Amino acid sequence: MGGAASAMDQLMYLSQLVGFTVEFSDFPKRNHGEYLSLVSLSTEPPVMCHGGGASTAASHEQCARAALRSLRLLGLEPSAPTAAAAPTPSHHQPTNDTSRMQSMAGAGPKAGVINGLPE
């Protein structure tokens, strides 16, 4: 198999690599039968994004896509592995991008990002 990882997989991989938490909040199915979710990332600055879909899983995937867009705007370019090529911790060598990502988890301006747009 070995296709590209889903946005959710990429976000979870990046959160482990950089060291931030990802928290989803789900809301009742009221908006024209669509599930709505909110994702919060404990980055600095904090990132919050929303998403919607036909299922909770689809809603979370939309949230993850929006969060990855937001992280790109903050200077993070996630290069998550495909399902077949996930790196093992023993073979992972930090690069300049990794160092930049790690510094983002604990430093930076205090303004947040919501759905890819600065507050």
Q: What is the pLDDT of residue 107?
A: 42
Model confidence at 77, pLDDT cuts 50, 70, 90, reads low
> What is the value of pTM for the model shown?
0.65
Q: Which helix (H) or strand (E) holds 10?
A: helix 7-18
* Domain range list for the chain: 7-105
CA–CA distances in Å: residue 92 to residues 10, 26, 55, 95, 104: 16, 34, 35, 9, 19
Pull the structure tokens for residue 82: 């495909």
Q: Angle at CA 92, nearest 5°, toward 87 and 98?
A: 105
Please give the Cα distance from 1 to 76 (Å, whole number).
27
Q: What is the pLDDT of residue 109?
A: 42
The rounded percent of the chain whose pLDDT value lies above 70 is 61
Q: Which fold has domain 7-105?
A: Double Stranded RNA Binding Domain (3.30.160)
